[in-house]
Structure formats: structure tokens, C-alpha cells
Amino acid sequence: MTFYFRCCLLVFLCVKVSGISAQQFTLTGKVTEVKGSIVPFVSVYVNTTTQGTSSNVDGQYKLSLPAGRIELLFTAVGYDDRKVIVTMKENTTLDIVLAPKIFTLNDVIIKSSNINRADNIIKKVIEKRKTYLNEIEAFSCEVYTKAMQKLLNAPKKFFGRDVAAILELDSNRQGVIYLSETESKLDFKQRDKIREVMISSKIAGDDNGFSFNKASDLSVNFYNNVLFEDKLCVRGFVSPVADNAFSYYKYKFLGTSEEDGKTISKIQVIPKRKNLPAFSGIIYIVNDSWRISAVNLFITKENGIELIDTLTVQQKLIEVGDVYVPQSIQFSIAGKLFGFKFSGYVMGVYKNYNVKPTFNKGFFSNEILKIERSSNKKDPFYWEKNRSVPLTIEERDNYKRKDSVTALKSSQRYLDSVDQVKNRFNLAQILVTPYVHYRSYNRKSVTYDPVATSVFFNTVEGLALKYAVNWRQGFEDGRYYTIKPEVRYGFANERFNANIKSRYLFDASRNGSIAVGFGSEVANLNSNQQTNLLQNTINTLVFGKNVAKFYERRFFNIEASREFAPSFEVKISADYARRNALTNSNFTNFRKETDFTSNNPFEPTDENSLLFPKHKALVVSGMLAYTVAQKYITRPDGRFYIESDYPRIELNYKRGLKGVFGSSVDYDFISMEIYQKKLHFGMLGKSSILLGAGKFLTTKSLNYPDWKHFRANQSIVFDSDERNFQFLDFYIFNTTKQYFEAHFQHNFGSFFVSKIPLLRKLKLEEIIGYAYLSSPEKRNYNEFYFGVKRLNFRVHYGYAYDTDILIKKGFKFSYGFNL
């Protein structure tokens, strides 16, 4: 017993001693400048290491340190570095005062000389740009992120909804609307290989949610020629040290200072014209090595950013070994949109770098972020201990207020009270936008179609009504199912149709779903349905052209889809229908002259001509799609894809089965399509491209709905999908044989318009495009068009040629949200 007791005592003493040696204490404090003003976003590091933190916007910092004597380094853009030795025996408070960095001009006093000196320094940086862009082959580090957005003012109502009630604002319609923190492990390797694992995530007021913060989103490298390409605007913004920077910037030398034996030059960067896609602010350069050590730059809406007024970027770099890596970065935004005035910031603090990591083969994949299932289960004590950047008073109050009612928010009583506000019926809302009735506690919602899109007109049905209600049931693990009944009635032809369609997402992680539908409907003869009911109504009543043609079908279909590997999607379906051709019933419009044609596109003057006889058709089809190098995020509630910069390849096969359930169709069709939505060309904008080809292998028996239909257009008001033909007839040039098509569209992103003083304020983006089709029905068909767009509105003028003969030209208008 004595021996056992001594062994236990020895083990206890060893654990106790090791616990003391590893004991951590907390150092807190506030950083101010000489005059007492706070200094935000100060980097606080254990000197000669990458272990550290950053102060918050109120200058407060917190750092966990082991017992003993430690040298700390306080560094901030525009201030002298300060080294302080602290002895940690207990939790300690240490306030720090930083002196503004004095940049001396030495004997350079002539303004023009200052400018020349700045130019010489920037030229040397540009000479080293490619070297420093690629000098770090790989690294690993830990990243803490924090994002906060708040409303400074908001309208009382938005689409009939009480804004303050929905967003939980105060009586002045102000408040924090998003506050989140994360901790991640980030690995990087050249050629854009990234792997991030989010180990902790916190969102104010949401214990079950996962943060939208991504450490990789904060990665910005000013050695790149163009930054934020196709994010804040189409073209992006030219770096102050880009190869062509002198075409966009002028520079002013503001002086030098000494920092750890290195001479740092302070350079002011100024756009040559205020409307250029260029930054303003300060960039700090290490002399002799000609590296960037820090930046404090901003861009405004005058430089071309969309949706916000100002973006400020502050980045501090740190030397690790013989390379420089980000130490901290902050993005601050401010703006006003639709009456909402807002501001906010996103910050990242990097620590514990390894700039020579070893990665096993297969370590990197297209999964750029994995969020651990337990990441949102960290308690407040964990965050108090591990939070790299202290909360401000405003942020702490926001957490306290929202987290204190988290349990209440999940209760049926609370959710019902919130739903009562959200579910308030508003006549203006139901006329223009869908009306959604929520049952949040049960994860249910019912969406009612708006009246504006439910009433329409065409020459087959006359004045008609189509109304649908979509009922959705969600589950905690991301699964859901929807049931959507729909009714449609034409007052001229007195035909009533009704159907029910449902979908069940059974595997959120692989986007696995099954869909079933049955009933009757009026369908467009072109299966791509390139004109919607509202557009067709406008074309019919206003312009006197009934471009859309319809038929009726009574159907039953089933479809299943699932990813069998990331970016690989497979879909199979079966559709059984009794098809019935229709004729015109109404010829009314707002004009005296009409160009109405029959509902049979091949017999435009014969109103009684039927396009096809009544028949039954059973068609089975399969689709296999792969998006090259598509990045994705894995969350516990599913897999979410990032829009790819590489092509999507899609293979399709269709088979008409004759004799099964009375089906009279018998054919085989195969096609392939390669589509890339975004090809970036820096300051010249972006392009999209599509190549498609297909062939009917057999055509023993088929009817017009089985033909290969193209994404055509005859409407003046049109769908702006860049894969569409702009002048091709919807119906008569579809094929039962083989085809090849190509589409190209380029958006210059205001490259030319921004140079015209009277037009640049409109922020119009220039569009050009080309389309080609070759098939037995339409050989060597070409289209060219050019125009402008702004947000979701677009107008262009185009020409269509049949071989070398001009056959159509004119304006087209669009209100779609495409390229």
C-alpha cells in the first residue's frame, strides 16, 4: 500500500509540475498614440516569432503567454514599432503608447525630386514583383477571423415589411446585423492550392449556424497585377506595383524611417484620374530588398466598385525566415443601398507560420474549406480563452443580447412571435412579390405566387391565370421536401389544367434528390422556354407579335439526381405524356395592326393547322455533368460549390420507347455541351463561351416536342442568358438530325465608357457577342451584337446573317441577372 501511495503521489507531482511549467497567463491592455487617441488593429507578437494577436477597433488587445520573461513587439502601420519586455507571473494589464512614425525627407526638399524618387522606388519594386509573387512555395498557419456588419440607418418598411422588427434594430433603426468569429488551420501551396479547416465558429444569436467567414477570402497579394477581379466589379483594380502601374498611378515620396535596421520608404499612391480602377493611399517599401511591408489603401465607387461606396484595405506583413507573409489584414466597408446605410469590417490575424511545410500526396483537393461538425459547439469560456482579438463594447453587448435569447429563439413561442411579424399580409407585396407564410419552429413555409406574374395573355388561351403554391418542409440535417400544386385556366379556350410537382432532397452532402410530377399543363413547344409568360404578354399586347407557341400535355414524370463524386453529377428521368396540339383562340391586342400567326410555326397563316397529331410518348433520359476543378465547401449540412473558372462538360442521352404504355415515339439522341461562364482578361473584362454538338442516332418515330430545340429568341424583351441566340426563330430551325453551335460573349466592364466624362457616372458595361449555328435546317447562321448593361438591365443592337445575307437586325432589351 505504501508503494502504491508513493507511485500515485509521484504521478500527481509530475502532472502538477508539468502543469505549472505550461501554465498560461493573460496579458491585456489598450494601445493609444501620444495624444491619447486609440490605435486600432495593432499587431502584438512575441518578438522573432509569429505567435501573436491584433488589437480591435477600440485599440484593446489580449494575448495568452506562458510564465516567464518575454519580449513583445507592438507594430502598426504608420507608427514606430515598440518592443516591451514583460515578466508573466499572473494575469497582467499593460497599456502601450505608440509614437507616430516620423518619415524624414533628409536633404530632398524639391517636390519634383520627391516624385522622381518615389517613381524610382516603385520601378524597383515592379522589377521584383514576379519574384516576390512566387517566392513562397507553401506555408501553413493558424488564422483568426472576425466579421462585423451594422446598419447605421434603414427605411421603416421594405417591400411592406417592418425592417426594424425583422433585423432586430433599435428605435433609431440601427444595430449590428452580423457578428461572427472563426479559428482555422490554413494550408497553402503554389498554383492556387488551398486547404482550410474551420475548427471553431461563432455567430451572434445562432448556436446552430456556421460562419460565412473564410480565411482564404482574406488572401490578397498586391504583387498580383489585378486585385478583386470580378468581385467588386467586372475588371478588378490595378495594383500600385503592377507591371503597368505607371499608366494608372502617380507616386509621391513622403520620407523614410528605420525599423529593425531596415529603411522603410513611405509612398503615397494617387490615381492619375479619379475614375480609374486604382487605389489611393499609402504603401510602405523596404529599401534595398524593395519589398512591400505594409499597405493602407482604399477604393471608392468613383473607381468602379459596385454596391458599396468605400473599401479600405490595411495589411501588415512580417518577415519569417527570408520571406514576408501576412501578419494581419482588415477590410473596412461603408455604403448606402436602397435606403440602407451600412458599415463594417472583416479582419484576419495570422500566427504560428510554417513556411516550409511538407504535404503528403493527395493532401490538397478541390475541397477548399471543411467546417468541423463540432465547430459551433464551443462554449463562451472557450472563446474568452482563445479569442485572438478582444471584443469591442458594442460587439460584447451584441453577443450578450443575442446569445441570452438563443434558447428562447429556438422555442416555439418566440419563433411564432417572429413569424407573426414576418407573416403580416400586405396587398402591395402580394401583387409584386411572392408572399411567404413561415412556420419557423417546424421548419415549414408556404410561398404564394405574386399576382403580377400570375395573370398573363397569349393567343391560345387569351386572358389566362396561372397560380401556384409551394409548400416546403425542412429538417435539421439539411434535408427538405417541397410540394407545389399549380392551376391554370384560359378564359378564351376555356381549358383548365392542374398539376402537382414535388421534390425531396434526401442527401444534402451529395445533392441527392428525387422529383415526381403528374397532372396536366400548357407547355411551350420549345422545351427551353426562352420567353416567360410576362415577356410574351408584353410582346403580344404591345408589339402585336405572338412569338410563343404552346401545346397541352397530361403527364407523369420522375427524376433522380445525385453526385457520385465531387463535381460529378448524374441525373436520370422518365417522362410519360399524352400530347395535344393547340390552336389560337384570341387575337386581341393594344394595336390596330397585328402580325399574329397561327400556333403552328410551320403554317403561320393556317389557324386550324395542327403541328402534330394526338399521341402518347414515353421518354427516358440521362445526363452526366462534370465541372473541371470546381472548388467546394464541406459543411455538416451539405456540400456547397464555388462558381468555377473552368468549363462544365455535360453529356446527354434521350431514348423514346415505342410500345410501352402505348407510346408511339422511337428515337435515340445524344449531345455534348462545354460551357465556361467566366474567362478573365484583367482590365479588358471577362468572357463566356459555349460549344455544343449533338446528333439523332435513330429517328424511326418522333414528334415536334422530341426535336432538338435551341435557345432561340424572337422577342424584343428577351432573356439575357449568354448562351441564347438573339434572333433565331424559336421553332422552325430546330432539328431532327445533327447540329453544332457556338456562343461567345464579352463584358468589357466599363473599359471604354469610363473614359467618357458624361457617361462614366452611369457605370455602363460594354457587351459584345457572337453566335453560330450549323444544322441541315440552318447552315452557317451567324449573329453579332453589341450593347451596354447596368446591373440587371441591358440593351443591345444586333445583326443576323444566313451565310452572307443579312436577314435580321434590331434592338433587344433585357432585365435578367446574367453576364
* CA angle, residues 469, 471, 472, in degrees to nearest 5: 145
Q: pLDDT confidence of 698, banded at 50, 70, 90?
A: very high
Average pLDDT over residues 778-805: 91
pLDDT at residue 197, rounded to an integer? 95
Measured CA to CA in angstroms, residue 25 lies from 21, 46, 93 at distances of 12, 14, 11
* Eight-class DSSP state of 377: G
- According to DSSP, the β-strands at 92-93 and 24-33 are parallel
Average pLDDT over residues 725-734: 91
Cell triple for 219: 488572401
Fold of 21-98: Immunoglobulin-like (2.60.40)
Cell triple for 278: 486604382
pLDDT at residue 112, rounded to an integer? 52
d(CA 501, CA 511): 18
Please state the length of the chain. Answer: 819
Q: pLDDT confidence of 528, banded at 50, 70, 90?
A: confident
Weakest-pLDDT range from 387-391, 410-414, 651-655, 798-802: 410-414
Q: pLDDT confidence of 287, banded at 50, 70, 90?
A: very high
Residue 48 has φ and ψ, to the nearest 5°, of: 70, 10
Find residue 266's DSSP bridge partners: 255, 284
| 3-class DSSP assignment, residue 359 | coil
d(CA 588, CA 19): 88
Measured CA to CA in angstroms, residue 597 lies from 233, 466, 545, 565 at distances of 44, 24, 8, 49
pLDDT at residue 8, rounded to an integer? 38
% of the chain with per-residue pLDDT over 70? 94
pLDDT at residue 543 above 90?
no
Pick the residue with more confidence: 366 or 407?
Answer: 366
| 3-class DSSP assignment, residue 536 | helix
Q: pLDDT confidence of 577, banded at 50, 70, 90?
A: very high
pLDDT at residue 441, rounded to an integer? 82
Using the structure block, give the residue that is written with the C-alpha cell 407545389.
484
Tell me the pLDDT tens digit for each residue of 301-359: 888 888 899 999 999 998 888 899 999 999 999 998 888 999 999 999 999 999 999 99
Average pLDDT over residues 131-157: 91
pLDDT at residue 279, rounded to an integer? 96
Is residue 119 within 8 Å of residue 251, measured between CB atoms? yes
Cell triple for 630: 470546381
Find residue 518's DSSP bridge partners: 500, 556
Is residue 429 within 8 Å of residue 435, measured between CB atoms? yes
d(CA 449, CA 430): 8
- According to DSSP, the β-strands at 632-635 and 367-371 are parallel
One-letter amino acid of 817: F
Is residue 105 within 8 Å of residue 111, measured between CB atoms? no
Q: pLDDT confidence of 191, banded at 50, 70, 90?
A: confident
Handedness of CA 701, 702, 703, 707 (dihedral sign): negative
Total Cβ atoms within 10 A of residue 17: 10
Containing 422, the helix (H) or strand (E) segment is: helix 412-422
% of the chain with per-residue pLDDT over 90? 53
pLDDT at residue 482, rounded to an integer? 97
- According to DSSP, the β-strands at 805-814 and 717-718 are parallel
d(CA 689, CA 344): 37
- Mean pLDDT, the chain, whole residue set: 87
pLDDT at residue 538 above 90?
no
Is residue 767 within 8 Å of residue 787, measured between CB atoms? yes
Q: pLDDT confidence of 16, banded at 50, 70, 90?
A: very low
d(CA 791, CA 764): 9
Q: Where are the domains of the chain?
A: 21-98, 710-819
Q: pLDDT confidence of 819, banded at 50, 70, 90?
A: very low
Weakest-pLDDT range from 44-53, 98-107, 502-511: 98-107
Q: Please give the radius of gyration of the chain, using alpha carbons only, rounded to the nearest integer.
A: 32
With left for phi above 0 and alpha for psi between -120 and 50, is residue 139 left, alpha or beta?
Answer: beta
One-letter amino acid of 183: E
Is residue 216 within 8 Å of residue 224, measured between CB atoms? no
pLDDT at residue 7 above 60?
no
Average pLDDT over residues 265-270: 94
Average pLDDT over residues 427-447: 84
Q: Nearest to residue 281, comparing CAs of 310, 307, 258, 323?
A: 310
Weakest-pLDDT range from 18-27, 578-587, 664-673: 18-27
Find residue 198's DSSP bridge partners: 184, 371
Pick the residue with more confidence: 19 or 137?
Answer: 137
Residue 129 has φ and ψ, to the nearest 5°, of: -55, -55
Measured CA to CA in angstroms, residue 503 lies from 487, 513, 565, 623, 770 at distances of 18, 7, 22, 18, 37
Is residue 184 within 8 Å of residue 142, measured between CB atoms? yes
Find residue 281's DSSP bridge partners: 269, 297
Cell triple for 427: 396587398
Residue 75 has φ and ψ, to the nearest 5°, of: -140, 135
pLDDT at residue 17, rounded to an integer? 35
* CA angle, residues 394, 395, 397, in degrees to nearest 5: 65
pLDDT at residue 407, rounded to an integer? 67
pLDDT at residue 797, rounded to an integer? 94
Is residue 636 within 8 Å of residue 210, measured between CB atoms? yes
Is residue 745 within 8 Å of residue 758, measured between CB atoms? no
Tell me the pLDDT tens digit for each residue of 217-261: 898 999 999 999 888 888 899 999 999 999 999 999 999 888 878
Sheet of 82-88, strands arranged across? 52-54, 43-46, 68-75, 82-88
Is residue 403 within 8 Å of residue 204, measured between CB atoms? yes
Pick the residue with more confidence: 725 or 113?
Answer: 725
Sequence-distant contacts of 76-79: CB under 8 A, at least 24 apart? 76/31, 76/39, 76/41, 76/42, 76/43, 76/316, 77/282, 77/284, 77/294, 77/295, 77/296, 77/314, 77/316, 78/282, 78/296, 79/33, 79/39, 79/42
pLDDT at residue 546, rounded to an integer? 85
pLDDT at residue 744, rounded to an integer? 96
pLDDT at residue 163 above 70?
yes
pLDDT at residue 798 above 70?
yes
C-alpha of 139 from chain center: 26
Total Cβ atoms within 10 A of residue 746: 21
Total Cβ atoms within 10 A of residue 469: 16
| 3-class DSSP assignment, residue 170 | coil
d(CA 729, CA 709): 11
Total Cβ atoms within 10 A of residue 214: 23
Weakest-pLDDT range from 5-19, 105-119, 193-207, 630-644: 5-19
pLDDT at residue 6 above 50?
no
- In order, the DSSP letters of 646-704 are S-EEEEEEEEE-TTGGG---EEEEEEEEEEEEEEE-GGG-EEEEEEEEEEEEEEEE--G
Q: pLDDT confidence of 106, banded at 50, 70, 90?
A: low
One-letter amino acid of 238: V
pLDDT at residue 179, rounded to an integer? 92
pLDDT at residue 623 above 90?
yes
pLDDT at residue 11, rounded to an integer? 34
Q: pLDDT confidence of 430, banded at 50, 70, 90?
A: confident
Find residue 252's DSSP bridge partners: 268
Cell triple for 741: 453551335
| 3-class DSSP assignment, residue 210 | coil
Q: pLDDT confidence of 748, banded at 50, 70, 90?
A: very high
Q: pLDDT confidence of 503, banded at 50, 70, 90?
A: very high
